[in-house]
Amino acid sequence: MPGFELFGPSEHKEVNDVLDSGILMRYGFDAMRNGHWKAKSLEQELQTEMQVKHAQLVSSGTAAVSVALAVAGIGAGDEVILPTFTFVASFEAVLMLGAIPVLVDIDDTLTLDLVAVKNAITPKTKAIMPVHMCGSMARLKELKDICKTNNLKLIEDACQAIGGTYQGKPLGTYGDLGCFSFDFVKTITAGEGGAVITNNDDYAICADQFSDHGHDHVGSDRGAESHPYLGYNFRISELHAAVGLAQLRRLKDFISIQKKHYTILKDALATIPEITFRTIPEEGEENYSFLSFFLPNLDKANAAMTALKDNGIDGCFHYYNNNWHYVRKWEHLKEVKSLYPISPQIKEALGKLKTQSFNQSDFFIGRNISCLIKLSWTEEEVKQRASKMVEAIQSVL
């Protein structure tokens, strides 16, 4: 990761098709397109690749989560359970709909802890949203069982995990809805973009309409289309879709390269007795975009990060001290720093985060280091990197 490392002739061709036609919008202008429909083509190929009935392209991964929640009927005052380790977009999407993000602890999968999820369910809970951070998945079978027992929706935020599988199914297809991001640093990129996938026909129709101002997309005259309900502008452009189309066709190759590099690094780090690795749920296979491992304690993790940086090893992240991905430093969320008025319900719920402790999450995130896996490395570069990482980490143990 990310896919931009290997941009080449296929991406150039797809983009030039769009520029030659001059039509950058995904809807309308049929006669001028010269037969090029990049967004439609990408949706169709996503459906095939993900073995799912419906795919709806949107403008970002954040938009994908927002649309997925909306079409599942989640809104004002509803609670959505999500992990303390995620990207800020996850809770932003929940808040955008007037719903309440309920953050719960993670376990050694770096995703939702099942006991914490069960304890967080209230009469207001409407959905559980596992976030497949750093390329691997939550315990989806158990989460689906919890959802069935409590009549909840299971919405997969697979924005960082495209290409991974669980029980032989592509990540994003196990729940009621799945979400992907195609931003600039994802395994496949469109520059900006995202997708919602589902096997539910009604959800698919709603996603199509909601993401384009509520347009019903019936007929060939956009000005004559009706609006069954309110919507928003979450459209992707043809330029972004064109890049994404070329990249999707290369996904299997990207995953293969990542797995090769990941395996070299993991095998090297496995020689250090003090290191343990993230748990991958049984019957799951990650997309190998990150190698995540644990040091014995927080102090050793901090020291290891310093040693890695001092030895010129970039691309390693200690999320305990990260402003984007872990609850510990989300002061803007805890203090409800909003440009617009927030409902008393949400203020009350978020206010609890100021004093709420997530000791279990701290235990795992504090000891975790996640290293991205680059596509552009040569095999020799990976081996040299592995050797330097082992040396750096051993120096602090």
CATH number reported for the structural domain that contains residue 118 in this entry: 3.40.640.10
Does residue 299 share a domain with residue 277? yes
* pLDDT tens for each residue of 111-158: 999 999 999 999 999 999 999 999 999 999 999 999 999 999 999 999
What is the pLDDT averaged over residues 176-194?
A: 98
What is the pLDDT averaged over residues 226-253?
A: 98
376: tokens are 């552009």
Does residue 362 share a domain with residue 221? no
User: What is the secondary structure of 52-101 as a DSSP string?
Assistant: -SEEEEES-HHHHHHHHHHHTT--TT-EEEEESBS-HHHHHHHHHTT-EE
Does residue 267 share a domain with residue 203? no
| Portion of the chain with pLDDT greater than 90, in percent | 99
Residue 102: predicted pLDDT: 98
3-state percent breakdown (helix, strand, coil) of the chain, nearest 5: 45, 15, 40
Q: What are phi and psi of 23, to 5 degrees?
A: -105, 105
Buried b (16+ CB within 10 A) or exposed e, 149-183: eeebbbbbbbbbbbbbbbeeebbbbbbbbbbbbbb
Q: Can you give the pTM of this predicted structure?
A: 0.96
Report how many domains make up the chain: 2
Q: Which pLDDT band holds residue 236 (cuts at 50, 70, 90)?
A: very high
Q: Which pLDDT band holds residue 1 (cuts at 50, 70, 90)?
A: confident
Residue 249: predicted pLDDT: 98
CA distances from 148 to 207, 268, 353 (A): 23, 42, 28
182: tokens are 């195609």
Does residue 105 share a domain with residue 155? yes
84: tokens are 């303390």
92: tokens are 């932003």
Spatial neighbors of 151 by CB under 8 A, at least 6 apart, are: none
Does residue 278 share a domain with residue 246? no
Among 198, 216, 250, which residue terminates a domain? 250
Among 235, 250, 265, which residue terminates a domain? 250
How many whole angstroms separate alpha carbon 367 and alpha carbon 276? 10
Q: 194: buried, middle or exposed (CB in 10 Å: 19+, 13-18, 0-12)?
A: buried
Does residue 244 share a domain with residue 107? yes
DSSP assignment letter at 233 = B
Does residue 60 share a domain with residue 191? yes
How many whole angstroms separate alpha carbon 337 and alpha carbon 341? 10
Q: Which residues pair with 233 in a beta bridge?
A: 212
Residue 75: predicted pLDDT: 97
Does residue 245 share a domain with residue 281? no
Does residue 321 share a domain with residue 244? no
Q: 278: domain range? A: 252-394
- Find the CATH number of the domain harbouring 280: 3.90.1150.10
Does residue 233 share a domain with residue 163? yes
What is the pLDDT averaged over residues 82-101?
A: 97
Does residue 244 share a domain with residue 266? no
DSSP assignment letter at 188 = S
Among 250, 272, 291, which residue terminates a domain? 250
* pLDDT tens for each residue of 274-298: 999 999 999 999 999 999 999 999 9
Q: Which pLDDT band holds residue 361 (cuts at 50, 70, 90)?
A: very high
CA distances from 112 to 10, 226, 360 (A): 38, 41, 11
* pLDDT tens for each residue of 29-83: 999 999 999 999 999 999 999 999 999 999 999 999 999 999 999 999 999 999 9
Q: Write down how long the chain is.
A: 397
At 191, which helix (H) or strand (E)? none
